[in-house]
Amino acid sequence: MEGYEQIFRENVIPEVPNLAIYIPNFITQEEEDEIIKHINNTPLPKWTQLSHRRLQNWGGIPHPKGMIAEQIPCWLQKYINKVSSCNIFEKNKQPNHVLINEYLSGQGIMAHSDGPLFYPIVTTISCGSHTLLDFYKRLNSTEQHQSNLEFSFLLERRSLFILQENLYHNYLHSIAERESDIISKSVIKNLSICGEQFSEGEVLKRGIRLSLTIRHVPKTSKLKLRIG
């Protein structure tokens, strides 16, 4: 999409290891409403219920032996194409998987990395509510068990966040389990390029957040599973 190279230059998050990009208002209000409607209308068996959130896999379920590729519905492919048009991914590494997470207010996810099942570029569209994404340095076995918080990013609703390279390989990311977030300019590194302006100490209450994590799974198979 013409002009995205300039947008990327303007939206690289300063003060953090390469390479994190944050684009506020990547989708419109109408597109956000469309996404939320489709997700909420998804049949219950498509949801996987975890202890602190629930999720949907589209395109298949990633597995070390290979993901059995499944067709992605048109309404969701639309947003894969929108992300792909930014020329983030190489031609032979186009997104083929979407993980949809639903976070209720107070829910989160423990510190983790996306690991070797995925090509090391993660793109996330946020809908319905903001969240605060926290980053910790990955520790080796000789270091202390608990790492200190290094920095955070405020992910506004309708934004696109791109995580890759050093941030993918050498850091863990998490979402704290709380119902609100407090703005700290010393910790949150992307405030200068957010769509809205925020004040130090401002409290942001969380609502229901639906995130679309769009990635490439290198190892896939077109074989159909035999049932029975």
**Tokens at 36, concatenated:** 């939320």
Share the mean pLDDT of the chain. 89
Q: How confident is the model at residue 143, as a pLDDT?
A: 46
Instruction: Write down the domain spans for the chain.
Output: 1-221
Give every residue of the chain whose pLDDT is below 50, as ranges. Answer: 1-3, 142-144, 225-228
Number of helical (H) and strand (E) elements in the chain, helices listed first: 4, 15
Q: How confident is the model at residue 6, as a pLDDT?
A: 64
The dihedral built from the CA positions of residue 215, 218, 224 and 228, taken in this order, carries a sign that is: negative
Q: Do the Cβ atoms of 154 and 194 come closer than 8 Å?
A: yes
Q: How confident is the model at residue 17, as a pLDDT?
A: 66
118-167 per-position pLDDT tens digit: 999 999 999 999 999 999 988 765 444 567 899 999 999 999 999 988 88
| In this structure, CATH architecture of domain 1-221 | Sandwich (2.60)
